[in-house]
């Protein structure tokens, strides 16, 4: 039988409950463990193979000259273009790239959004 | 009249319980309504402007005054500019007759119940003009719907008020309140509960709130009759809507809940009566906010059909019941 | 202009879109109305065309995985899963059973998320803001579950060619099962509200009627067709993924109105919750992916999937290199667009938002480029050969600088 006002009991319950709003940014938000955030690059493990740059769908990784790696090249990450897809983490044969849980990455200047170790 | 009395009357008009008090109270009622609506939906509502967001409607008003005011090329310039001002003036005028700080309003004439009903009807006509003068297709559809809804809610509203007038045998608001206080010693809602319910439902339609906010349906015709107004004109329209909320709940308190009467310290009557007025109007607003968050929006033909098929017969039956009670000598 | 039209007849035209609160994405519908009744509807598409099919021809198969999931935000798992499945067929490899089961789990969890989102939006279109807020609060549960599994709330990127990329551990399984219990209770409550609340019934019953013959003639797909009594579901008729082993029911209603569409989607959500539970309890053990060679031999495959909105088709053609030669996507909203024009005629203006929302439109997925001649109001569509000739002519005129600038790296 259709009656108007089926939500009434629920509404009156809500007056005494805590609101479901998360008070971000006054309260920090917890992200789960496998979250795909900003890239963290470990130059020690890199061999300069260039697989990450070849596989990146967004063109966010460029190879530059560097003496520290075996093949004399290393990646430069432009994370303003990054999709956070983690394909580079998967393609790297030495596990030099990891995606952390940092997600508050907004910035005023696009030139600063680069990881150039 | 003595100059002192004239001066006091002017102060009453402007400060308390006149224009400034009513405007501030209108903003307070809007905050209360928004906060309750949010709490029913498990959200927070206004929070950061002022303590618990109390100053939010005031901040909205100031912001709108500062925005750019555009008159569209296809609009009728004189009508477009004058309608918001007239609406504000009309809403303030109706508030002069509602008892706030004493058992009578600032002005009181015999027959002022009908005068107040008539002026609130003018408010509805002004809304239709506002949509018509905008020259926009969405406003024209909004005006059509306002007109249709007007036909639907005015009659049950008037009938419920008339049943109160019949029960108290007077058309003057101050007499109705004193009847409840002195003769009956009970609020009239005990005698005519059906009229109270019909009054509440019609006032939802009058204030254009869900489930009857068809003229202003956001997802269908963007904003109905308000769509072309911006800046100062929109600020005045919103203020007029808030004042209408004060008017509707104030009239409900005066007619059905015994006016601002309550236990008080003799000599400090204005203060205590105002406090009782605030408490009682907040109760009425609680019921209206609850109804607002409970339903979906009806279609315009369903609104008109529902009002004519269900509310008007009940209102007529209520009038007959009141006559029966008078005949039996109960009241 | 308005005055002449009103004086001439009583009808005039109301534009809904591209910017309108009733639409969540941009398309233009022009309604010819008389008072409150809708007489005719005419639509124009092409506002969100992004050139994805062309872009896919210049990226490798692995890079296209992430391009295809961004065709749509709500059905991104369906797009990526269909693409991965089609390329696997193209290359001739099969994903291992555990990978296929996890892929199916993501499809079903996404169906729950998409239907709950739609239910909230439909409630908002009829003015029921309270139900909108409550449903979206409960949708956060499934978003958090997907975030725990895949690392992101939308664009899950769980699929790869040959299987899936991440595994589901046992403690994650317990958390998902707990979340599914809460979701099932809340969805059953919302179903009861939708069937009993008189204001919803007043707005949704007998509105937007599409008879069964018209449905078959105009080729509606997905829940729109199942609400008109047409019993079609790709998961049962042409099983892919793990659907030949998971037990489920196909929900069909035959009242042909918006209320039937609401109930079909709510029931499908409950079915998806039961399916997800079954998949989690019966996950086979083993590997989650197999190897994939970069170059694929010449082949062409048509793959299809039951996305939350209907039947999603992917056509991929390979030519021996590591980039596809042609990728074509046909999304369900493109098939449902003509039926919606049929449903809107004869209704009221007040019914426009709920009927438009009733097919669950995702205009971003479906867009095609449409050519319009402003002076004569003629519209036409070009096929591949005409587009190719036009693009060669354009690049000849505007020189090589444009190409060089764009492909700087």
Residue C24's pLDDT is: 80
Give the pLDDT confidence of B68-92 residue by residue, as tens digits.
Answer: 988 888 888 898 999 999 999 999 8
> In chain A, what residues touch C292 (CB-CB under 8 Å)?
none
The predicted model gives B99-109 an average pLDDT of 84
Residue B60's pLDDT is: 93
**Domains annotated on chain A, with CATH:** 30-115 (3.30.70.3270)
- Please indicate whether, in this complex, the C-beta atoms of A4 and B295 are within 8 angstroms of each other: yes
The tokens describing C211, both together, are 């008879």
Give the pLDDT confidence of B220-262 residue by residue, as tens digits.
Answer: 767 778 888 988 999 999 999 999 999 999 999 999 998 888 8
Residue C403's pLDDT is: 66
Chain B residues whose C-beta sits inside 8 Å of any chain A C-beta: 38-44, 290, 293-295
C-alpha B317 chain-centroid distance: 25
| Whole-number Å distance between alpha carbons of C219 and C342 | 12
Residue B315's pLDDT is: 93
- Please indicate whether, in this complex, the C-beta atoms of C352 and B220 are within 8 angstroms of each other: yes
Percent pLDDT > 70 in chain B is 99
Neighbours of C327 (CB within 10 A): 24
**CB–CB of C279/C104 below 8 Å?**
yes
Residue B302 has pLDDT above 70, yes or no: yes
- Please indicate whether, in this complex, the C-beta atoms of C66 and A10 are within 8 angstroms of each other: no
Residue B1 has pLDDT above 70, yes or no: no
> In chain A, what residues touch B46 (CB-CB under 8 Å)?
none
Residue C409's pLDDT is: 47
The predicted model gives B159-166 an average pLDDT of 91
> In chain A, what residues touch C166 (CB-CB under 8 Å)?
34
Residue C308's pLDDT is: 92
Could you tell me the pLDDT band of residue B141, with boundaries at 50, 70 and 90? confident
User: Which of C60, C66, C159 to mutate: most A Cβ within 10 Å?
Assistant: C66
pLDDT averaged per 10 residues in sequence order, chain C, 409 residues: 57 82 83 85 85 90 91 90 93 92 94 94 89 92 92 89 91 93 94 90 89 91 92 90 91 91 94 94 91 89 92 92 91 89 86 87 82 75 82 79 65
> In chain C, what residues touch A34 (CB-CB under 8 Å)?
148-151, 166
C-alpha C106 chain-centroid distance: 15
- Please indicate whether, in this complex, the C-beta atoms of C137 and A20 are within 8 angstroms of each other: yes
The predicted model gives A71-87 an average pLDDT of 90
Neighbours of C6 (CB within 10 A): 13
Residue B218's pLDDT is: 67
Residue C63's pLDDT is: 92
Provide the mean pLDDT of chain B.
88
> In chain A, what residues touch C55 (CB-CB under 8 Å)?
none
- For chain B, the chains sharing at least 3 beta-carbon pairs closer than 8 angstroms are A, C
What is the distance in angstroms between the CA of the first residue and the CA of the last residue of chain B?
Answer: 39
Give the pLDDT confidence of A88-117 residue by residue, as tens digits.
Answer: 999 999 999 999 998 888 889 988 889 887
- Please indicate whether, in this complex, the C-beta atoms of C203 and B297 are within 8 angstroms of each other: yes
Distance from CA of C23 to the nearest CA of B (A): 8
Beta bridge partners of B190: none
> In chain B, what residues touch C20 (CB-CB under 8 Å)?
222
Minimum-distance CB partner of C66 among A3, A34, A83? A83
| Whole-number Å distance between alpha carbons of B174 and B103 | 6
ipTM of the complex: 0.90
| Whole-number Å distance between alpha carbons of C67 and C72 | 10
**SS3 (DSSP) at A99:** strand
Residue A73 has pLDDT above 50, yes or no: yes
- The sign one gets for the Cα dihedral B159, B164, B169, B174 is negative
- Please indicate whether, in this complex, the C-beta atoms of C36 and B221 are within 8 angstroms of each other: no
- Domain locations along chain B: 62-327
- Please indicate whether, in this complex, the C-beta atoms of B296 and C125 are within 8 angstroms of each other: no
Confirm or reject contact between A7 and chain B (CB < 8 A).
yes
**Domains annotated on chain C, with CATH:** 52-344 (1.10.645.10)
- For chain C, the chains sharing at least 3 beta-carbon pairs closer than 8 angstroms are A, B
- The three-state DSSP-derived secondary structure of B60-90 is HHHHHHCCCCCCCCCCCHHHHHHHHHHHHHH
Provide the mean pLDDT of chain A.
88
User: How far is CA B205 from each of CA A7, A82, B216, B306, rounded to the nearest angstrom?
Assistant: 21, 52, 11, 12
The predicted model gives B122-136 an average pLDDT of 87
Distance from CA of A116 to the nearest CA of C (A): 17
């Amino acid at each position: 039988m259709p009656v108007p006002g089926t939500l009434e009991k629920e509404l009156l319950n809500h007056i005494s409950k805590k609101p479901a709003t998360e008070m971000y940014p006054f309260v920090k938000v917890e992200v789960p463990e496998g979250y795909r955030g900003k890239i963290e690059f470990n130059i020690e493990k890199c061999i300069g193979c260039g697989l990450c740059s070849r596989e990146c769908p967004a063109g966010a990784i460029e190879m530059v000259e560097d003496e520290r790696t075996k093949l004399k090249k290393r990646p430069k990450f432009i994370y303003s273009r990054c999709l956070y897809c983690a394909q580079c983490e998967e393609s790297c044969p030495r596990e030099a790239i990891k995606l952390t849980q940092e997600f508050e990455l907004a910035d005023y200047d696009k030139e600063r959004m680069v990881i150039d170790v | 009249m003595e100059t002192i009395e004239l001066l006091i009357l002017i102060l009453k008009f402007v400060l308390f319980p006149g224009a400034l008090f009513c405007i501030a109270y209108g903003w307070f009622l809007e905050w209360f309504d928004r906060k309750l609506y949010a709490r029913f939906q498990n959200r927070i509502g206004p929070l950061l402007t002022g303590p618990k967001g109390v100053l939010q409607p005031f901040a909205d008003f100031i912001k709108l005054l500062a925005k750019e005011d555009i008159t569209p090329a296809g609009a009728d310039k004189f009508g477009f500019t004058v309608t918001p001002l007239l609406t504000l003036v009309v809403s303030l005028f109706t508030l002069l007759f509602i008892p706030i700080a004493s058992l009578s309003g600032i002005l009181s004439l015999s027959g002022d119940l009908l005068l107040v009903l008539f002026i609130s009807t003018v408010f509805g006509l002004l809304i239709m003009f506002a949509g018509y003068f905008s020259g926009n297709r969405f406003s024209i559809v909004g005006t059509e719907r306002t007109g249709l809804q007007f036909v639907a809610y005015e009659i049950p509203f008037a009938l419920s008020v008339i049943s109160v007038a019949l029960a108290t045998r007077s058309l003057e608001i101050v007499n109705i309140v004193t009847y409840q206080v002195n003769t009956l010693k009970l609020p009239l809602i005990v005698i005519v509960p059906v009229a109270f319910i019909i009054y509440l439902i019609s006032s939802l339609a009058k204030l254009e709130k869900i489930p009857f906010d068809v003229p202003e349906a956001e997802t269908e015709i963007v904003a109905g009759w308000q769509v072309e107004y911006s800046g100062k004109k929109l600020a005045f329209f919103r203020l007029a809507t808030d004042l209408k909320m004060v008017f509707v709940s104030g009239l409900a308190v005066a007619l059905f809940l015994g006016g601002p009467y309550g236990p008080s310290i003799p000599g400090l009557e204005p203060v205590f009566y105002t406090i009782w007025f605030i408490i009682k109007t907040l109760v009425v607003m609680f019921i209206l906010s609850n109804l607002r968050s409970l339903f979906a929006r009806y279609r315009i033909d369903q609104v008109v059909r529902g009002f004519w098929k269900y509310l008007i017969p009940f209102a007529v039956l209520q009038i007959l019941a009141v006559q029966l009670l008078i005949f039996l000598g109960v009241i | 202009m308005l005055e002449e039209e009103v004086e001439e007849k009583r009808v005039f035209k109301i534009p809904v879109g591209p910017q309108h609160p009733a639409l969540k994405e941009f398309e233009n519908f022009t309604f010819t109305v008389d008072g409150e009744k809708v007489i005719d509807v005419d639509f124009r598409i092409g506002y969100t065309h992004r050139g994805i099919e062309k872009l896919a021809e210049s990226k490798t198969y692995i890079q296209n995985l992430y391009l295809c999931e961004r065709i749509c935000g709500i059905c991104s798992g369906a797009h990526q899963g269909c693409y991965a499945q089609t390329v696997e067929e193209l290359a001739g490899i099969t994903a291992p059973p555990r990978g296929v089961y996890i892929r199916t789990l993501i499809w079903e969890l996404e169906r729950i998320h998409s239907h709950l989102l739609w239910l909230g939006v439909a409630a908002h279109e009829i003015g029921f803001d309270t139900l909108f807020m409550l449903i979206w609060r409960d949708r956060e549960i499934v978003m958090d579950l997907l975030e725990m599994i895949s690392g992101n709330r939308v664009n899950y990127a769980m699929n790869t060619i040959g299987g899936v990329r991440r595994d589901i551990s046992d403690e994650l399984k317990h958390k998902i099962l707990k979340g599914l219990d809460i979701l099932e209770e809340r969805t059953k409550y919302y179903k009861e509200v939708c069937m009993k609340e008189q204001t919803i019934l007043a707005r949704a019953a007998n509105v937007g009627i599409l008879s069964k013959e018209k449905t078959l003639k105009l080729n509606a797909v997905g829940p729109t067709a199942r609400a008109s009594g047409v019993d079609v579901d790709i998961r049962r008729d042409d099983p892919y993924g793990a659907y030949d082993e998971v037990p489920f029911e196909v929900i069909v209603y035959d009242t042909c109105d918006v209320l039937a569409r609401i109930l079909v989607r709510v029931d499908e959500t409950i079915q998806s919750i039961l399916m997800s539970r079954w998949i989690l309890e019966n996950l086979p053990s083993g590997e989650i992916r197999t190897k994939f060679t970069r170059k694929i031999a010449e082949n062409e495959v048509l793959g299809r999937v039951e996305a939350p909105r209907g039947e999603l088709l992917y056509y991929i053609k390979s030519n021996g290199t590591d980039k596809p030669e042609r990728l074509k996507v046909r999304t369900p909203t493109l098939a449902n667009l003509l039926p919606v024009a049929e449903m809107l005629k004869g209704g009221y203006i007040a019914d426009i938002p709920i009927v438009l929302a009733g097919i669950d439109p995702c205009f971003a997925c479906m867009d095609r480029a449409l050519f319009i001649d402003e002076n004569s109001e003629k519209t036409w569509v070009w096929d591949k050969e005409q587009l190719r000739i036009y693009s060669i002519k354009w690049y000849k005129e505007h020189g090589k600088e444009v190409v060089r600038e764009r492909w700087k790296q």
